Structure 1
Amino acid sequence: MGDTSYSESADQADEYARAALTLMRAKGVVANPNNFAVWYCHFSGKRPELSQTLQILLDNGQNFTPERSDELFRRFFTVEEENKNLFETAGQIENEISKILTTLDLAGDGAARYGRTLSDASRSIGGAGAEDLQGMIVKVIKETRGMERLNKALENQLEKSSGEIVQLKDDLEEMRREAMTDSLTGLANRKRFDLELRRAAMTAMEDGAPLCLLMVDIDHFKRFNDTYGHQVGDQVLKLLGATLKASVRADDMAARYGGEEFAIILPQTKIDEAKKVAEEIRHKISAKNLINRQTKEDMGKITVSMGIAQFAYGESLGVLIKRADQALYMAKRTGRDRSLSERDLDDKALSFDH
């Protein structure tokens, strides 16, 4: 994610801060602490991935809505919060384990004391008189009841701690899911995409199997947002997310790559097969007619452009993504509402029919 330390001089920091606030005002971005952190780091160059994302949005003339600003902050600055939550949960688990160990120690002390009582009684019982025997019986009964209470307390504590630990395990799993899920579409987010693509590439090389990547971008999404508003735009993103999720196999993974761009990882898939998947998805999306349920307004259709690339064993994943992106941008330049693969990048016969 880049260097997050702040070693710049006071003059440099002032320069970055002024540049950040100037551009934030120009783009209508509220200068709250979260937004300022995003734009300051952009100008300081501390987080290259953040700067690259912002530059793409700026180059494409995207609006920095509160929702988009919040998404940028969560994407690049929430690792610390996740670590804090994990640390707190780990502390709770440690506390529960400590309770169990303490209870086991008490049970161990109680068992040792009970054992000594029985041993003493066993050694003394042969020569004991009636009165001494009665006293020993009373003592053994007392220790036995104490041991029963201790065992019951141990059982209750173990049951309670077991329930607490199960709940904490569920909380950890939920935190993991949230950290890897795009909150708007429910698809995998960029963080999970990066991890899954790396894992899929390693598996492909180990098995000698093909792996393809699809990049998907909504055509004219900015114009759609400007016409109908960002709330409707969010519904479009949700609709596309649901369509992608329903169109892939269990072993595939659809993710929101950023903004209106999505990605699909297709393990065990050659480029010709990936092209068929892309075309099926594209036709599904373009066949949907969008109706505003509240106003009954017909908003027409949305289309997507798609780029496809196949993983070459040993190559950088950045190179794979770049090829898929290049095919995607060519699809946009040559008319949109189409899918092109890396094989089309050198094809001079592409038609400009839109």
Structure 2
Amino acid sequence: MLQRIGLPRLRWPRLVADNSEMPASAQIDPRARRRLLDEISNFLIEHDLEVTPSNLLAAHEACSGINPRLARRIEWRREQGEPITQTWLEEATVVDPCAGKKSIEDLAKDMERGIDELSRASKSMRRATSDYGDELERRVDDLQGPCDTEELISTLSNFAEAMIARSRQTEEELKASERETAKLRRNLDRARQDAQVDYLTGLPNRRAFEEVLETSYREAQDTGEPLSVAFCDIDRFKTINDTHGHEAGDRIIREIAETLSSLCTKDCYIARHGGEEFVLLFRGVEPQDALAQLDEAREALASRRMVNRRTEKPFGMVTFSGGIADVLQCADPREALAAADQALYCAKRSGRNRIRLAGEQSRAA
């Protein structure tokens, strides 16, 4: 991928066992980090882009290979002779605001409110305890000297009633704080779930997939079982959107999500990687077998003839292309994703509506 956007590909070194818990940035060879920095700076300079946090993030994702979709879009734009402008890059990297049901700002407000409630309840308890202690100390001092028994009993009774009332008030404050804390915990759990679910298809999203890929990669290394990853991309999706509208395009995305999901068993994991792209992880499945399964789904979809329900106009043949890589043949899971993406690119270049294995030069559809 990186060669196609004018940058040399960065290869990640295989990690040694005693470094397995180190952050990824600490596991990369210093020379590799230097090459990545050079690639990022060259990208920004070549396309006359400002050095901003968002541009640096986009350049890092494209140059490091962690966002193959962005790298491929850059490459295709270069092939068409069109510039990589600031406006285009911002549109290419925009994050859908509907991806989460609850914004970070709302969640932060909930957390702040919950902390305030807990703080108030805690202060109230400390204040009540201090008041009780001071008052009891005074009553004990009164008992040391001469006093009117009836007056003392009345005073102690009033004090006890005040203590009971204050205790009940504090108890109610604590209950309210507990309810707020429980609500905050539910919101946090929901936010964690939303952060890993694609709002349009209901499938896991890219973040969730990358976590499963990392875990499955380590497990496959330990067990020696095969592990295959596939990248799929809807063919000519821009034409579908331009011709039928984004609502119809969303329907096509959901239809293909269902088609690919039909492949998934306990040994297969599917996610929407972004836009019109999907990724699948085949655990315990050789790449050739994964290709056969994916090819069967491709043929089933290509045989369908879907119609735009709103306009009654046919979509024509809707297809997807795919690339498959053997994860254990790569030094890093991200390198396997890049290899699958390269195979997908070959499938697109050779006519679309076909599946390619990484490293395979040709295969009849």
TM (normalized to structure 2)?
0.67
Q: Which sits farther off after the overlay, 254-263 or 83-92?
A: 83-92
Partner of residue 100, structure 1: 121
**Greater relative contact order (Cα < 8 A, sep 6+):** 2
- What is the CA deviation profile of residues 91-110 of structure 1, one whole-angstrom value per residue up to 9, with x for unaligned ones? 33332321231122123224
Partner of residue 77, structure 2: 58
Work out the CA distance in 2 between the residues paired with 1:53 and 1:108: 65
Partner of residue 258, structure 1: 274
Shift in alpha-carbon separation, 1:160–1:214, aligned structure 2, 3 A: same
1:175-324 superposed matches below 5 A: 175-245=191-261, 247-249=263-265, 252-312=268-328, 315-324=331-340
Task: Give the CA deviation at 1:186.
Answer: 3.4
Shift in alpha-carbon separation, 1:100–1:303, aligned structure 2, 3 A: same
- What is the CA deviation profile of residues 115-151 of structure 1, one whole-angstrom value per residue up to 9, with x for unaligned ones? 5477568x66xx988xx33222222221221121122
Counterpart residue identity of residue 290, structure 1: M
Partner of residue 15, structure 2: none
Partner of residue 28, structure 1: none
Task: Give the CA deviation at 1:158.
Answer: 1.4
Shift in alpha-carbon separation, 1:47–1:297, aligned structure 2, 3 A: closer
Counterpart residue identity of residue 209, structure 2: F
Q: % of aligned pairs identical?
A: 25
User: Quick check: 1:186–1:241 contact (8 Å CA) kept in 2?
Assistant: no
Structure 2 unmatched runs, 5+:
1-24, 26-32
- What is the CA deviation profile of residues 41-99 of structure 1, one whole-angstrom value per residue up to 9, with x for unaligned ones? 3899576457635404525769x9x9x966722279x9xx9766665444333323212
Task: Give the CA deviation at 1:156.
Answer: 1.1
Shift in alpha-carbon separation, 1:83–1:315, aligned structure 2, 3 A: farther
Counterpart residue identity of residue 212, structure 1: S
Asked if 1:109 is matched to 2:130, the reply is yes
User: Quick check: 1:42–1:54 contact (8 Å CA) kept in 2?
Assistant: no
Structure 1 unmatched runs, 5+:
18-35
1:102-181 superposed matches below 5 A: 102-113=123-134, 116=137, 132-181=148-197
Task: Give the CA deviation at 1:279.
Answer: 3.5
Work out the CA distance in 1 between the residues paired with 2:246 and 2:257: 16
- Please give the root-mean-square deviation of Cα atoms over the aligned residues, in Å: 4.4
Counterpart residue identity of residue 248, structure 2: V
Question: How many equivalent pairs are there?
Answer: 312
User: Quick check: 1:248–1:254 contact (8 Å CA) kept in 2?
Assistant: yes
Work out the CA distance in 2 between the residues paired with 1:210 and 1:43: 33
User: Quick check: 1:218–1:304 contact (8 Å CA) kept in 2?
Assistant: yes
Q: Which sits farther off after the overlay, 109-118 or 309-318?
A: 109-118
User: Quick check: 1:213–1:321 contact (8 Å CA) kept in 2?
Assistant: yes
Counterpart residue identity of residue 211, structure 2: L
Secondary structure at the counterpart of residue 185 of structure 1:
coil
User: Quick check: 1:181–1:187 contact (8 Å CA) kept in 2?
Assistant: yes
Shift in alpha-carbon separation, 1:44–1:298, aligned structure 2, 3 A: closer
Counterpart residue identity of residue 325, structure 1: D
Partner of residue 24, structure 1: none
Secondary structure at the counterpart of residue 311 of structure 2:
coil
Shift in alpha-carbon separation, 1:313–1:151, aligned structure 2, 3 A: farther
Partner of residue 26, structure 1: none
